[in-house]
Chain A
Amino acid sequence: MPEALLRPFIRLGHSVVSGIWRLGFASRFLGAILMMSGATFRRPALLMREIYFSGVLSLIIILVSGLFVGMVLALHGYDTLSRYGSEEWLGVLVALSLTRELGPVLAGLLFASRAGSAITAEIGLMKATEQLSAMAMMAVNPVARVVAPRFWGGVIAMPLLAAMFSAMGVLGGYLVGVVQIGVDPGSFWSQMQSQVDVERDILAGVIKSVVFGFAVALIAVFEGYDSEATAEGVSRATTRTVVTSALVILGLDFILTAFLF
């Protein structure tokens, strides 16, 4: 009887301890990646391949989503702003929401589910099929050869994708606001330019996207490397990458917003 009552607490304790354990291992793993990333930059072909897989192949989803998010923002924004007769602020609304918040965050979430999950699955499968141990046996360090290029590929691709997302969103807002609804293009752009500050708004958004890039890339490679070497383990690691990345992005977003603005 006491055994059955205690079981939930035992399980809770186990998950807390293993969570902290994994956090510590992830920190050490990040240190190892940073120490061993010299090889990545000495062999740009490796890095190119990873930027291609996580960046170039995410282009379509990022560009299309950005366009639609901008268009929706313009529709909603126009509806509210026109009640106060201040439609010329539509450009400011679209640009500020995208550069400060939606660009980095949504691009980060899309990037985690499009590229992060792929990285985890790839590394996890390499582990499950014992390719990583085969490499280690041939005196090739798997962290330097497999993990570090994927990590840096993600870190480089993410801010560029976020910038493209914001730019496409502004164009989408222009299409709906100016071309379709008929807000004056002069006031759309000039209000935007007078209210959006390069350092305070755009640079802060870029900083956010760089931080998200580091977080998502680390989570993706770590979950892959730490996955159980079974088919089920790889699938669970892939799910965990997406879930953890989403939570970490939104949590970091709150902290960064509090610091930057």
Chain B
Amino acid sequence: MKRTTIDLWVGIFVALGIASLFFLAVQVGNLRGTEIVEPYELQARFDNIGGLKPRAPVRSAGVVVGRVHHIDYDSERFQAVVVMNIDHRYSFPKDTFATINTSGLLGEQYIGMEPGGDEALLQPGDTMIKTQSAVVLEKLISQFMFNKAAEGAAPK
């Protein structure tokens, strides 16, 4: 068997194809970027998670420190249980506040971590106690309307 010119061209072709796939995965997709290294698990209970989805980012001070792994429903407490993977490089105090925020007006929802002042740190598998649910726009509007109505009714 001898090497032929066709082999060279096919080699170039296959190399180009694989390079394109690599380019798509690395430069276009998020294969590198904020990959979470050796994650540990934390849980948080929310009354309402709004539109939060698995793989949504967990941010502290705007930096992505982890991702939502999965979301369960606790049928005894009627609450959502969000399990997230946090990068092992970051640890948070016991009294960290977990809130569900929205990036921008129409952006995706993410979990924001606001560290408290406790000396003890959250251990892998711990559950965060202090949480704040997602803001539901309808509730906000109805609250505002009731307040307005109450204001209007008061002077009489």
* B10-A167 in contact (CB<8A): no
Measured CB to CB, the closest approach of chain A to B15, in angstroms, equals 10
A193 to B33, CA, bound (A): 8
- Tell me if B20 and A167 are in contact (CB < 8 A): yes
B residues less than 8 Å from A163 (CB atoms): 17, 20-21, 24
A160–B16 touching, CB < 8 Å: yes
Contacts of A55 in B (CB 8 A): 10, 13
In the complex the two chains form, is A59's CB within 8 Å of B23's CB?
no
Interface of chain B, main secondary structure: helix
Q: Please encode chain A, from 177 to 207, with 1 for each CB lying within 8 Å of some chain B CB and 0 for all others.
A: 0000000000001001110111001100010
B24 touches A202 (CB 8 A): yes
CA distance A62 to B89 in the complex (A): 45
Q: Are B30 and A197 in contact (CB under 8 A)?
A: yes
A237: B residues at CB distance < 8 A: none
Contact with A along B1-40 (1 / 0, CB 8 A): 1001011011011101111110111011111010000000
Alpha-carbon gap, A183 to B86, bound state (A): 33
Q: Does A154 contact B (CB under 8 A)?
A: no
Contact check, B17 vs A49: say whether CB atoms are below 8 A apart.
Answer: no
What's the A-B contact tally at a CB cutoff of 8 Å?
Answer: 81
Residues of A contacting B27 in the complex (Cβ-Cβ under 8 angstroms): 170, 189, 193
A193 pairs with B13, CB closer than 8 A: no
Residue A241 at the B interface, CB < 8 A? no
Interface size of A by Cβ–Cβ distance < 8 Å?
Answer: 30
Indicate which residue in A51, A159, A189, A198 contacts B10 across the interface (CB closer than 8 Å).
A51
Determine the interface band of chain B, counting residues with CB < 8 A from chain A: 20 to 34
Determine the chain A residues whose CB is within 8 A of the CB of B16 once the complex forms. Answer: 59, 160, 164
User: Is A68 on the interface with B (CB-CB < 8 A)?
Assistant: no
Contact, CB under 8 Å: A56 / B9: yes
Residues of A within 8 A of B6 (CB): 48-49, 52
Q: A51 CA to B9 CA in the complex, in Å?
A: 9
Q: Would you give the 0/1 interface string for A132-175, flagging 1 where the beta carbon is closer than 8 Å to chain B?
A: 00000000000000000000000001011101101110100000
Does B21 lie within 8 Å of A198, measured CB to CB? no
Q: What's the Cα separation between A194 and B29 when bound, in Å?
A: 7
Query: With a CB–CB cut-off of 8 A, which chain B residues contact A167?
Result: 19-20, 23-24, 28
**Cβ 8 A contact of B17, one of A48, A160, A189, A197:** A160
CB nearest neighbor in B for A206: B21
8 nearest A-B pairs in the assembled complex, by CB-CB distance: A160-B17, A167-B20, A163-B20, A198-B29, A164-B20, A56-B9, A163-B21, A52-B6
> Measuring CB to CB, which residues of chain B are less than 8 angstroms from any residue of chain A?
1, 4, 6-7, 9-10, 12-14, 16-21, 23-25, 27-31, 33, 55
17 A/B residue pairs, CB under 8 Å, sorted by A = A45-B1, A52-B13, A56-B13, A95-B28, A160-B13, A164-B20, A166-B24, A167-B19, A167-B28, A193-B28, A196-B28, A197-B55, A198-B29, A198-B30, A202-B24, A202-B25, A202-B28
